[in-house]
């Protein structure tokens, strides 16, 4: 997955870069680096995104597993 695909996946799923990065235990800056192509996106992150895109019903489960402070970073404008 390249940076463009990463940004597209986040948009389709309704996550901000910072919100998604925090959910997977990375810093907001790391999420930005992934989105800009400045850092390699880990395979586990790619797998999670592909799983969420393929099985949208799992997004709710994954969101509910994230800490409350991370859930609040989800981009509410895209559902």
Dist CA 19 CA 40 (whole Å): 18
Q: Is 76 a domain residue?
A: no
Average pLDDT over every residue of 17-40: 94
3-state secondary structure of 39: coil
The pLDDT value given to residue 68:
55
Range of the domain at 53: 3-71
Residue 37 maps to which CATH number? 1.10.260
**What mean pLDDT, rounded, does the chain reach?**
86
Please answer whether residues 48 and 61 qualify as being in contact, where contact means their C-beta atoms are separated by less than 8 angstroms: no
For the chain, how many structural domains are there in total? 1
Dist CA 41 CA 77 (whole Å): 25
Query: Residue 76 pLDDT > 60, yes or no?
Result: no
Q: Is residue 35 very low, low, confident or very high in pLDDT (cuts 50, 70, 90)?
A: very high
- Kindly report whether the global pTM for this prediction surpasses the value 0.85: no
Query: Residue 42 pLDDT > 90, yes or no?
Result: yes
C-alpha dist (Å) from residue 40 to 34, 48, 54, 72, 76: 6, 15, 22, 26, 27
């Amino acid at each position: 997955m390249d940076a463009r695909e990463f940004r597209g996946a986040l948009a389709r799923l309704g996550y901000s870069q910072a919100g998604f990065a925090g959910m997977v235990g990375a810093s907001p800056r790391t999420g930005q680096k992934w989105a800009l192509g400045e850092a390699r996106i880990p395979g586990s992150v790619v797998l999670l995104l592909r799983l969420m895109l393929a099985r949208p019903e799992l997004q709710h489960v994954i969101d509910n597993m994230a800490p409350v402070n991370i859930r609040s970073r989800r981009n509410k404008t895209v559902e």
